[in-house]
Amino acid sequence: MNENYLNKIIQGDCLELFESIPDNSIDITFADPPFNLKKKYNSYKDSLEFKEYLDWCEKWISEMVRVTKPSGSIFVHNIPKWLTYFADILNKKADFKHWISWDAPTAPMGKSLQPSHYGILFYAKNLKKLKFYEVRYPHKRDRKTGYLLKDYGGKKALLHPFGPLISDVWTDIHRIKHNKRRDSHPCQLPIHLLERLILMTTDETDVVLDPFIGTGTTAIAAKHLGRNYIGFEIDSKYVTIAKEKIEKTHNNSQIGDSWISFYLNEPRTIRNKDWNELKKYFNIPEDLREIDNTKITLISKEDIINIHKPKKDEQTYFHFQLR
Ligand SMILES: C[S@@+](CC[C@H](N)C(=O)[O-])C[C@H]1O[C@@H](n2cnc3c(N)ncnc32)[C@H](O)[C@@H]1O
């Protein structure tokens, strides 16, 4: 591990910066590169020739695989068009795990088959050694009635109180639409999208590297969850924004001893294996069939503290993050 880079955002070209990262030293790598769609970045020109773009992508994808540990994961976010080429590159160097489809709806205007999802390629450096945790998200409900959207028929008593295991289609994480939650960057990702990937594939203190960190989303997600990060970014303006945001971020995305991901102060992703520890912090109806129309909620902060009994200097006994 290059200790000089740990928990830092380094300004520079990722291909040059990768050179100082040793082989097999990073727990997971995540990349959200420019999509070559002529987006207006501050300095980067997002319009390379077809082959030029793909040759460049092959270089940083190869670097991601090289630096990732044998137990680690490699994630690449992009539009389906480019992912078909990236998969071909990755299939030669790592083991396919999943193609996650992130449904990020747009209004259907103009023509049919408008892109309405992004893909996240999920590769294991070595499937046999992969570190991977099952994760759950809250049940989807009808906004007006509060009833579950999915019909579980006679099986309601068997429902998991928190929610189902995630599939490879993610429909519960929206793109950042509101300007007040957006930095002056054209393609900022939601923090809880990264938190889900991190919870699935890392443990506390593991290292997450993002070679195109933009305004810091991956680093913020890692810090929330008690992980370490390394971020590369070519544009000094984005580096400054990222550093300011990370400074204000705490590693407190936790209830009791379990790291979880929140969105707007509600748990959004939990690890399946943590549920036995976590369930005491939720109001859960005795008759589980009531989950059909009753969302489970967190108990009060005071009750969480009473149950968890945090040590005097412990800052991370629960999370109520301002986002
Ligand atoms: C799609 S954006 C990443 C956004 C990021 N995921 C976020 O949520 O803020 C791609 C970023 O890569 C940066 N970039 C472009 N070429 C680069 C290079 N060669 N090395 C490092 N960063 C680069 C751009 O400045 C841009 O901020």
Q: What is the DSSP string of 171-189?
A: -S------GGG--S-TTPP
Confidence at residue 106, expressed as pLDDT on a 0 to 100 scale = 63
Whether 221 has a pLDDT exceeding 70, the answer reads yes
Residue at 11: amino acid letter: Q
Q: Are 10 and 17 in contact (CB under 8 A)?
A: yes
Specify the pairing of strand 297-298 against strand 282-283. Answer: antiparallel
Ligand 1 centroid to residue 182 C-alpha, Å: 15
> Which architecture, in CATH terms, is 3-308?
3-Layer(aba) Sandwich (3.40)
Whether 179 has a pLDDT exceeding 50, the answer reads yes
Cβ 46 under 6 angstroms from ligand 1: no
**What residues contact residue 212 under an 8 Å CB cut-off, 6+ apart?**
14, 31, 32, 33, 34, 232, 233
* 8-22, 211-225, 285-299: range with lowest mean pLDDT: 285-299
Cβ 18 under 6 angstroms from ligand 1: no
Ligand 1 centroid to residue 13 C-alpha, Å: 10
| Domain extent listing, the chain | 3-308
Confidence at residue 55, expressed as pLDDT on a 0 to 100 scale = 96
- Which residue owns the Cα nearest ligand 1 atom 4? 214
Chain segment 90-136, per-residue pLDDT in tens: 999 999 999 999 997 666 667 787 778 999 999 999 999 999 999 99
| Alpha helices per DSSP H over 177-292 | 191-201, 217-224, 236-247, 275-278
Confidence at residue 104, expressed as pLDDT on a 0 to 100 scale = 77
Tokens of 209: 């590297």
pLDDT band for position 322 (50/70/90)?
very low
Report the alpha-carbon distance of residue 230 to residue 314 in Å, rounded: 25
Cβ 14 under 6 angstroms from ligand 1: yes
Instruction: Tell which one of 41, 82, 212 to mutate to probe ligand 1, the residue whose CB is within 8 A of the most ligand atoms.
Output: 212
Confidence at residue 1, expressed as pLDDT on a 0 to 100 scale = 62
Section 169-179 average pLDDT: 83
Q: How far is CA 281 from CA 269, 296, 302, in A?
A: 15, 10, 11
Report the alpha-carbon distance of residue 233 to residue 239 in Å, rounded: 6
pLDDT band for position 223 (50/70/90)?
very high
| Higher-scoring residue by pLDDT: 156, 28 | 28
Cβ 215 under 6 angstroms from ligand 1: yes
E-state strands within the chain:
8-11, 26-31, 68-78, 95-103, 117-124, 135-136, 169-170, 207-210, 228-233, 254-255, 258-259, 261-263, 266-271, 282-283, 297-298
Cβ 214 under 6 angstroms from ligand 1: yes
Question: Atom of ligand 1 at shortest distance to CA of 43?
Answer: 25
Tokens of 46: 């997002």
Name the percent of the chain lying above pLDDT 70: 91
Q: Which among 67, 173, 169 is positioned nearest to 125, based on CA atoms?
A: 67
Whether 321 has a pLDDT exceeding 90, the answer reads no
Please, what is the average pLDDT of the chain?
Answer: 90
Question: Atom of ligand 1 at shortest distance to CA of 212?
Answer: 12
Residue at 95: amino acid letter: D
Q: Are 225 and 29 in contact (CB under 8 A)?
A: no
Cβ 148 under 6 angstroms from ligand 1: no
Whether 71 has a pLDDT exceeding 90, the answer reads yes
Cβ 10 under 6 angstroms from ligand 1: no
Cβ 30 under 6 angstroms from ligand 1: no
Confidence at residue 323, expressed as pLDDT on a 0 to 100 scale = 31
Tokens of 210: 């993002």
Name the percent of the chain lying above pLDDT 90: 67
Section 43-56 average pLDDT: 84
- Sheet containing 117-124, strands listed edge to edge, beginning at the edge strand earlier in sequence: 8-11, 228-233, 207-210, 26-31, 68-78, 117-124, 95-103, 169-170
Tokens of 64: 């991601």
Confidence at residue 319, expressed as pLDDT on a 0 to 100 scale = 54
Q: Are 76 and 98 in contact (CB under 8 A)?
A: no
Q: How far is CA 162 from CA 157, 227, 248, in A?
A: 13, 24, 30
Question: Atom of ligand 1 at shortest distance to CA of 238?
Answer: 27
| Total residues found in the chain within this entry | 323
Section 229-240 average pLDDT: 97
Burial (0-12, 13-18, 19+ Cβ within 10 Å), 66: middle
Ligand 1 centroid to residue 17 C-alpha, Å: 14
Question: Atom of ligand 1 at shortest distance to CA of 183?
Answer: 9
Report the alpha-carbon distance of residue 209 to residue 269 in Å, rounded: 21
Instruction: Tell which one of 29, 36, 209, 233 to mutate to probe ligand 1, the residue whose CB is within 8 A of the most ligand atoms.
Output: 233
Cβ 82 under 6 angstroms from ligand 1: no
Cβ 227 under 6 angstroms from ligand 1: no
Residue at 2: amino acid letter: N
Cβ 231 under 6 angstroms from ligand 1: no
Confidence at residue 176, expressed as pLDDT on a 0 to 100 scale = 80
* Count of beta carbons in the 10 Å neighbourhood of residue 93: 15
Chain segment 156-170, per-residue pLDDT in tens: 778 899 999 999 999
This model's pTM is above 0.85? yes
Instruction: Tell which one of 10, 15, 29, 44 to mutate to probe ligand 1, the residue whose CB is within 8 A of the most ligand atoms.
Output: 44
